[in-house]
Structure 1
């Protein structure tokens, strides 16, 4: 499970209600001859038309639920883009269902690799225009999600990439460690957290890993690096020692990541993270507000996904969402 804060115009904080049923899905989109098309699913049992979504599995975080459910229902593997809203409605007997949605582009390669065949759950999938999607969707809550999605379209910020600020997982305390601070390793809980965040980080299409060279940070990204078959870039520029001694260089790291316009995760330390978010704001011409400060105040193993425009990163931060593992 994850909690999130998103920002598109105004901040939104999502608070978990243990009595609610949580689910996640996506507004899956593609361009066909430069025309926008949305993916709808026709469900067999309910004889309705809706957006792909499904309930969170035990131990799962919302972002990985969304990607998994899209693939299970449509056969298409996607990476998540900007969050587009949360729908809430009541199930019988008076139990609330809370569904988080993201925009998600279906690449031509992903569509070619789709394994979808009509089945007992999904009778058909269909690519339609926004206008036809509104006419066909069975539920008003889905139409409201489509309204938020269309705002992104109208604002020209549908094509985005994430820069993810990650705080290292739980490490041994300084009082329990005799060596240099940079050598403190993860605890057993920290190792579990490092494994738990692999799925949700992959859900955002992360390909590049940049980390402080402190052991606790390197160990935090190790499971992700193995899953992606990537070698992390270790740098003292993001370390707490460098930050405390005044020779850190967060600006250089962030500038390179924004210029690359590719999905990346940046792992660092609690005291350094405010600088990470500040430099993202400065690099994109974003007015710094309370939501930027909130996004940097992370618990161990938590991360904030900062969505930027692929075509014009200097247009400002499109959205920020924060995810917290429950391990």
Structure 2
């Protein structure tokens, strides 16, 4: 399976027209058609349903599309890395992060890695906490920034952010005019939380605090993957939520933030890495962030 054929497939899938796809790729139509036929023959499946008037992607084609985009993006990233390395000895650092961490003090660390470490090219990958743990063990990323799970055998962790949690409520909520509230005051509300498997320790800490306060939160079957999506759902009245205090600074439209009284709910973000990872980029990053050689949780 060659990259040229995948680029042709993506163009046809996005244009749903062989002529437009050919013009986009600066090809004539016959070579484009041959690339698609060769790819279909290699995969043993039809990727498009073609008539004289229309082109439709098949289920097999739809299944291939996201993976093809990922492979092309990785190939383009490798080309960029090699060019940078050839120009100045740059090392590649694959860094995972949770979306909400950008709104915390971790942002300064991200900025330092992106702009302030000579010889490092960073590829940022948005992932959930659980996805990052798996990627670290499989060495698909070099460093992770996430909510720390209960167990992380074989990994080294450095706590970088610890902050209080606050309530996020819709602007029309009965308590939105207050500056603070207790968890007990939300006993009748639906709670919008990220999916547990995406960040189990974050999810479980909120449930535990609610139960300690004597309430059993009702969690509707929404499927937000990150805290920005959670805030979006809160803003349209889908429920209330508990989020890190720094998200209040985002000025999210339609959402009011209240301090939580009577509990010490905190959010922690840590940097994790695999100590036996020999990536030169990771070694440079740890040294620049002064993580190397210091005591860390393991």
Instruction: Normalising by structure 2, report the TM-score.
Output: 0.23
The structure having more radius of gyration, on CA atoms, is 2
Greater fraction of residues in helix = 2
Greater fraction of residues in strand = 1
Instruction: Normalising by structure 1, report the TM-score.
Output: 0.22
